[in-house]
């Protein structure tokens, strides 16, 4: 019964799960940087920036949920910086490092975060 209910919900909600424009596929850091730097004049600007923020926040929250406090290597200050400031900092950092553009976006995000917000142990 539960599986039938879940299948029905997914069928009804399927238009909401549309893939979107090809640039919404984050295959590497270059894709993520392109997404996060979508110009306001682009017809997909709002969706692109929301996806950019959601991707970054999702990666960080997964890390925080699965990494014990004692094992963390990224420790944002309190109060935490604004999300847009962190993303802008990452984009600036990534653009100066062409070697990271073909690597995993999540890996690059955490290389940046560990340098920008290291834990003091």
Cβ partners under 8 Å of residue 30, min gap 6: 101, 102
Q: What is the pTM of this model?
A: 0.79
pLDDT band at 24 (very low <50, low <70, confident <90, very high): confident
Residue 116 pLDDT > 70, yes or no?
A: yes
For residue 26, being part of any structural domain is answered with yes
* Residue 12 within any structural domain of the chain: no
Residue 3 placed within a domain: no
Q: Does the residue 31 lie in any domain?
A: yes
Total length of the chain: 121
Higher pLDDT, 6 or 113: 113
Q: Which residues contact 106 (CB under 8 A, 6 or more apart)?
A: 59
Q: Could you check whether the bond before residue 79 is cis, i.e. omega within 30 degrees of 0?
A: yes
Residue 121 lies in a domain: no
Please report, rounded to a whole number, the percentage of residues in the chain having pLDDT higher than 90.
Answer: 78
pLDDT given at position 20: 53
Q: Which domain holds residue 71?
A: 21-116
State how many domains the chain has: 1
Distance from C-alpha of 27 to C-alpha of 104, rounded to nearest angstrom: 7
Backbone angles phi, psi at 9, to 5 degrees: -65, -45
Asked if residue 13 belongs to a domain, the reply is no
Q: Is residue 1 part of a domain?
A: no
């Amino acid at each position: 019964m539960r599986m039938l209910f879940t299948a029905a919900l997914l069928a009804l909600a399927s238009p909401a799960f549309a893939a979107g424009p090809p640039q919404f596929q984050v295959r590497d850091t270059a894709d993520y940087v392109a997404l996060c730097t979508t110009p306001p004049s682009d017809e997909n600007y709002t969706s692109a920036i929301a996806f950019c923020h959601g991707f970054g926040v999702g990666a960080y929250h997964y890390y925080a949920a699965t990494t014990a406090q004692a094992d963390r290597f990224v420790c944002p200050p309190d109060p935490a910086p604004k999300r847009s400031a962190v993303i802008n900092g990452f984009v600036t950092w990534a653009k100066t490092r062409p070697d990271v553009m073909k690597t995993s976006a999540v890996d690059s995000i955490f290389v940046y975060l560990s340098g920008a917000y290291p834990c003091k142990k």
